[in-house]
Amino acid sequence: MSKNNDQNKLWGGRFTEPTDAFVQRFTASVDFDRRLFQQDIDGSVAHAKMLVKAGILTAAEVSKILDGLESIRQDITDDKFEWSVALEDVHMNIEAALTSRIGDVGKKLHTGRSRNDQVATDIRLYVRGEIDQIAELITRLQSALLGVAEKEASTIMPGFTHLQTAQPVSFGHHMMAWYEMLDRDYARLLDCRKRVNVSPLGAAALAGTTYPIDRYFTAEQLGFDAPTRNSLDSVSDRDFAIELASFASILMMHLSRFSEELVLWTSAQFNFIDLPDRFCTGSSIMPQKKNPDVPELVRGKTGRVHGHLVSLLTLMKSQPLAYNKDNQEDKEPLFDLIDTVKDCLFAYSQMMPAVSCNKDEMYAAAKQGYATATDLADYLVKKGMPFRDAHEVVGKSVAFGIEKKKDLAELKLAELQNFSDLITQDVFEVLTLEGSVAARDHIGGTAPIQVLAAVATAKTDISKR
Ligand code: ARG
């Protein structure tokens, strides 16, 4: 796509020999930063309008500049623009094209700015747009989870600690736990947006500029909340990229946990759920296989996003003020983590509504692991036994059940009474899975009625976004 000829460099004045061909390729960023063309042109439009307002350029000059920029925007959009590696990056490609289209007046656009504040502005605009799309995708996935939670509020599964059956829970409750993780991700993302949305434009190379620029005007034109407050910090700061990568790393950690559960649950050993065929693939050798590729890949992609966070932190570590060429290395990790997060959220938002629960298997699994043992202990406590003693009694009952290969609910009353005479016929109400789940009836508990209340609250919350 890119020409590698030695075009006139925009900074060639003090040089006596052409750039080494390797160095030209090594230092160029156009192959990846051309992704910023819309933001670069938006930034230039705001800057050019400000230059007229401040009396630095004439209205006629800026009108030509604006027309030229829009024609370039159109050509890039239509894939008719010829990018050149010799022109290094998106900024100089566009500026050179402007001058070649409108003549010398194009050379005036760069008055009072530098590529250093220009690139910082472009990335912030880009990140802001992507944040808004990611926020939308999180909301979509959260809504999907609410749908499943509502439908499966009374579906019983074993809840685990240490991946050992602990207590029965509602499948809907489990979905709402995922919802909560995403809710924190959403809040972190919006918090990050506040620090993204400030305008570095006008910081110029590092110290500001001698022209009477109006940074409030350009900030407002570009939808920023305010201009940044220190020019040195403006051109060197990439905290916002690191914050986004941190947000993304935590989100991906969450998605990797969801994925791990889906992979387990779809296995023949668990068989709790089925994923729709369109989200799975087969094996070229084993005809029976239906592999949960989408969750597996999401789990795998977590690694690259975590890697990008470390790349960005290491990129910025020990950099002296202000701009350094190192910063050009911010883009590839940033772009890739954004793309990855969007794809993973999209995949999940499509997949989750199509998950089907194997209710009988989940129920049978919940019955297996003495999941209502705590309920029996609580029953004894309510009849006056101290909790530690009740724990001991139930432990012995469980050991007896294991020996007889029977669940607690399957033991005879007389057998249970061998362990405590406080046990009477009503014990069987608390030993059922339904009774156990329904009894956890407080905010945050797994009782179906509480799950439905949590869904209702969440629906109201996200409708306000
Ligand atoms: N391509 C550069 C980057 O992405 C643009 C800024 C270059 N500034 C400079 N002084 N060389 O960071």
Q: Could you give all domains of the chain from N- to C-terminal order, each with its CATH number?
A: 12-111 (1.10.275.10), 116-363 (1.20.200.10), 368-463 (1.10.40.30)
Q: Is the pLDDT of residue 105 over 50?
A: yes
User: Which residues are within 8 A (CB) of 50 and not within 5 positions of it... i.e. 6 or more apart?
Assistant: 213, 214, 217, 218, 221
Question: What are the tens digits of pLDDT across the range 215-256?
Answer: 999 999 999 999 999 999 999 999 999 999 999 999 999 999
Active site residue: 162, 284, 318, 442, which one?
162
Which candidate, 19, 144, 7, 26, places its Cα nearest to that of 82?
7
Alpha-carbon distance 139 to 129, whole Å? Answer: 16
pLDDT confidence bin for 54, thresholds 50/70/90: very high
Q: Is the pLDDT of residue 119 over 50?
A: yes
Question: What are the tens digits of pLDDT across the range 27-50?
Answer: 999 999 999 999 999 999 999 999
Q: Is the pLDDT of residue 1 over 90?
A: no
**Interval 141-160 mean pLDDT:** 98
| pLDDT the model gives residue 9 | 79
**Interval 411-432 mean pLDDT:** 94
Question: What are the tens digits of pLDDT across the range 288-316?
Answer: 878 999 999 999 999 999 999 999 999 99
Query: Could you tell me the distance, in angstroms and rounded to a whole number, from the CA of residue 208 to the centre of ligand 1?
Result: 17
Enter the pTM of the model: 0.95
Question: What are the tens digits of pLDDT across the range 431-457?
Answer: 999 999 999 999 999 999 999 999 999
| pLDDT the model gives residue 369 | 84
| Helix or strand holding residue 213 (H, E) | none
Alpha-carbon distance 118 to 92, whole Å? Answer: 11
Which candidate, 138, 141, 134, 143, places its Cα nearest to that of 458?
143
% pLDDT > 90, the chain = 91
**Most ligand 1 atoms within 8 A of CB, residue of 23, 87, 116 to mutate:** 116
Query: Could you tell me the distance, in angstroms and rounded to a whole number, from the CA of residue 217 to the centre of ligand 1?
Result: 24
